[in-house]
Every structure is written in structure tokens, then in C-alpha cells.
Amino acid sequence: MLSSRMKHIQGTSRAQTLLLPACVDDYVGPDHVVRFIEAFVESLDLAAAGFERARPKATGRPAGYDPSGLLKLYIYGYLNRVRSSRCLETEMHRNLEVIWMMRQLQPDFKTIADFRRENKTAFRKIFREFVVLCRSLDLFGRELIAVDGTRLKAVNSGQRNFTKAKLAKAMDESDERLGRYLKQLDDADRDDTPPSARVDNLKQKIAAIKERRAQLEQHHADLEASGEDQISLTDQDARAMHFSSRIGVGYNIQIAVDTKHKLIAEQQVHNNVGDLGLLDETANAARENLGVDRIDVVADRGYYKIEDIEDCEAAGVKPYVPKPLHGSVVKNGFFTKEEFRYDADAGVLICPGGQKLEPKYKSKIRDNDAVIFVNTKACKACDLRARCTNAAFRKVMRYANEAILHRMADRLAARPEVIDQRRESLEHPFGSIKQWMGQRNFLTRRIENVRGEFSLTALAYNIRRALTLVGVAGLISAISA
């Protein structure tokens, strides 16, 4: 009878002598991605991109490792979910693809980590160089981009982030515990028995609480001096994000995705908690990266800010942003502002009841001039008032430049499909970065380092996407074209 072992495919004996291909170039096939990384990095002017030690000194000691080798290593690593310097060091000793790419050089993890820190701003330029390469292959539609943000965790736990309210609560708790322990110490002192281990224990606890209280006071003073509304102790630039994002302390990542092939045209890292106010900066940078004078951008309601919409239009970016559905008017089901028609000739608003609301007060909303329209007499006698306001009369605010918002509403009404295009275009990069690339957190601290890190992430995403679209050979031939 055959043994069960004999029924399966057998491996090679460990005692058998094997030879790897004699030539290192045979380690990887002709269509392997490392051949593209090699060709791409070799085509770049790393000195112009700002890489340290890109030009070796003519005399003196050797300038250390060529940045092109370390850049290739990082691009390979971010493409293959290997981001830490220690893991990259390990790959150089066991991974034939990396051995091929690095020409058998084996810098240690510190050299690798230092390279990422020293060249943080240069990575952004490499991301842009790849966008230019994709443009040459016509992979960007350059007509419609979708902008959105996500949050990624920083190297900072929630326990090491404080708002003023959190500090006040922590200090109150310290005071309460301190008071309790002091009372217990008093009670123990009144006893005639000699000092016990319990008294020593209480004294230690009291000293620890006082030390903690002093630290909290220092954090409070630092927070007051910073003018910020929160302070992070491990990564000072990280911020506690919305609870709905379930990220805790992190960074706000903004991307602009071209809707043709879902390639990232622009990426930015901010520490703003919300997205409001980030549309123009992201969309306009994407427009420049794509090399066009005019482009359309679609974003969700979180970007609805008249100043941003105005700046976009002025810069050649035509925004499509739906109006937010919140506020007391929406909550109470009252007539919305859109149901009040502006009569430009008469300079009045015509309400749903057909009454004229006159400009009554001037106002400032952020830096925008606005006017409040009212008609107290008509409202008091109006049968529709219960559907319009729960006050004695309805006030309607109108920006001086409100026409911008009306133009945008008209554009959206004429082209509602852009809302679905936005969702479909953004799901792919965000899903890929978090699921496929496994990047839910940053490894570096401080916003400039994090920006460099995310440039590598976005570059890796774009490379992966372009490889799917045109393959290694297509990308390499575009480099040599």
C-alpha cells in the first residue's frame, strides 16, 4: 500500500546543491515591475527634485549611497506593503527582486530611514513626475476631477492628545483623587499606630498625582500659548479627528482623482479636522499638475464654502458641490432659501407667499459681505408663517456674491451624473490605499514627514493603476519616448 506522502507533489531535497542564475539580471523577468522602477528613477533628475547627495562630490570621501537606489527601494516597498526601514533592510538580504534593483547594495535601516526624512519634500516632486508620465500616455481625461478627503492615523495615541475641555476634566479628576488620598492620609495620621506600609503607599500615590497635575498644567499653558484648540504630545502636528471617522488622532488626506482612469492628480496632507476650505487648494493644484487651463471639479457637501467656490472659478476650476442639508430651516422643514427668488432689478427677495423682503441689515459672514432681507409686516399677517419660521418674522441672509452659488446650483441641475462619477472615482483609490496597500496609519511624525510619506503612497497607487492600464512595457516605452 502507498504511504499518504507518496500521493502528494514532493519538494526538492534540502541536501541537493542548487545554483541561482549566474547573472543577477536573470533574477527578474523582462516584464517585472522592478524594471519599470529602475527605468523611471534613472530617467529623473534627482538633484533638480531636491534629493540630498544627488551629485557626488568631485573630491574627498565618497558621498554615501546614491539616492536613486534608495528611492527605488522606497517605491518598491510602498508598492509591496513594506514601508518600515527595518523591513526594507530585511528585504535587501532575502528578496531577489530587491537584490537586483539595489545591485546587491545593503544599506542599513538607519540609512534607509534617514533618506525618507531628509528627502520628504522631494518625494512630492517624484509623484508629480509620474503624473507627467501618465499625461504623456493620455491616461488622464483632464476634464473632470473628484476631490475628497479621508483620515489616516498618526503616530500619536488618543491618550496623548488634549483639548482644553479634556485637560480641564483630567485636572478635575486629579484634584478629586488628590483630595481623597489626602483625607485618607489625615485619617491615618490621627491613628496612634506607627506609620504603616499603607501610609507609604498613599504618599507615593499623592506624589504621582501631583506630578501628573503639574504636567497637565504645563500642557494647558502650552495649549494657551499655541493658540490652537488641541495639543498632541507625540506628533505635535497631528489632530484628533471627527469621531465618525473612527481614526482618533491623525491627519486629513485630500486627493483629486481624474475620473477617466481613477488616477490621483493631486494629493495633500493637512491637519484641519474638516474638509471645508480645502477645495480650491487641492483642485487648483490638480489642474496645474494636469497641465490644463480649465477643469471641472466635483466634491461633496463638506466643501460647500462660497469663498472656495469663488476662488476655484477665478482659477479656471469649475466646481460642482451640492448644498449641505443641515441647519434649523432644514431640520424644521421650513421653506428653504432657494424658494426665495431674488429680483435683481428691484433688489428684493420674493418669498413663497409672494411678498417682497427688503434688504434690512448688512452683515459679515466670515469675510463675506451679506445682507439680511426681512418684511416684518407681511410675515406677521401671513398664513404660511408656520411653514416659514417659528419666529415673528422670517430673516433671509444673502451674500453679496451669492450669484456664484446659484450658478453652481444650475450647473449641478444640468449635470446630476457628476455626483455618481465622484463616488465611483474616489472609492477605488481610498479602498486601494486602505485595503490593498494596508495603509491606515503613518509611520513618521510631523506634517512635513507625513506629506513625504503620503507622496510615496499616492505614487505607488498611481504606478499600480498605470501598470494595470498599460503594463510595464508601455510605461518603459513612454519613459524612453
Contacting residues toward ligand SF4, per CB under 6 A: 351-353, 355, 378-379, 382, 384-385, 388-389, 394
Q: Which three cell numbers stand for residue 262?
A: 481613477
Q: Minimum distance between the CB of residue 374 and ligand SF4, rounded to whole angstroms? A: 8
Q: Which is nearer to ligand SF4, 357 or 472 (CB)?
A: 357
Tell me how far, at minimum, the Cβ of 293 lies from ligand SF4, in Å: 43
**Ramachandran assignment for 81, one of left (phi > 0), alpha (psi -120 to 50 degrees), beta (any other):** left
Smaller CB distance to ligand SF4: residue 41 or 351? 351
- Sheet-wide strand order for 368-374: 341-343, 348-350, 356-365, 368-374, 396-399
Kindly tell me which of 385 and 445 has the beta carbon lying closer to ligand SF4: 385
Q: Looking at beta carbons only, is 192 or 383 nearer to ligand SF4?
A: 383
Which residue, 217 or 343, is less far from ligand SF4 as judged by CB? Answer: 343
Q: How far is the CB of 341 from ligand SF4 (least distance, A)?
A: 11
3-state SS assignment for residue 71: helix
Choose between 82 and 379: whose C-beta lies nearer to ligand SF4: 379
Residue 326 φ then ψ, to 5°: -145, 180
Compute the least distance from the CB of residue 369 to ligand SF4, in Å: 22
Mutual angle of helices 109-118 and 120-136, in 10-degree steps: 70
Instruction: Please give the Cα distance from 404 to 310 (Å, whole number).
Output: 7
Least distance from ligand SF4 to the Cβ atom of residue 389, Å: 6
Distance CA 25, CA 206 (A): 67
* Residue 26 CB-half CA count within 13 A: 5
- Identify the three-state secondary structure at position 114: helix
Is beta strand 144-153 parallel, antiparallel or unpaired with respect to 295-299? Answer: parallel
Q: How far is the CB of 301 from ligand SF4 (least distance, A)?
A: 25
Please state the closest distance from residue 346 (CB atom) to ligand SF4, in A.
16
C-alpha grid cell for residue 93? 538580504
CB of 78 to ligand SF4, least distance (A): 57
In the bound state with ligand SF4, the residue whose beta carbon lies nearer, of 142 and 394, is 394
242-273 as b/e: b if 16+ CB within 10 A: eeeeebbbbbbbbbbbbbebbbbbbbbbbbeb
Residue 427: which H helix or E strand, with range? helix 417-431
- Closer Cβ to ligand SF4, 112 or 388, answer by number: 388
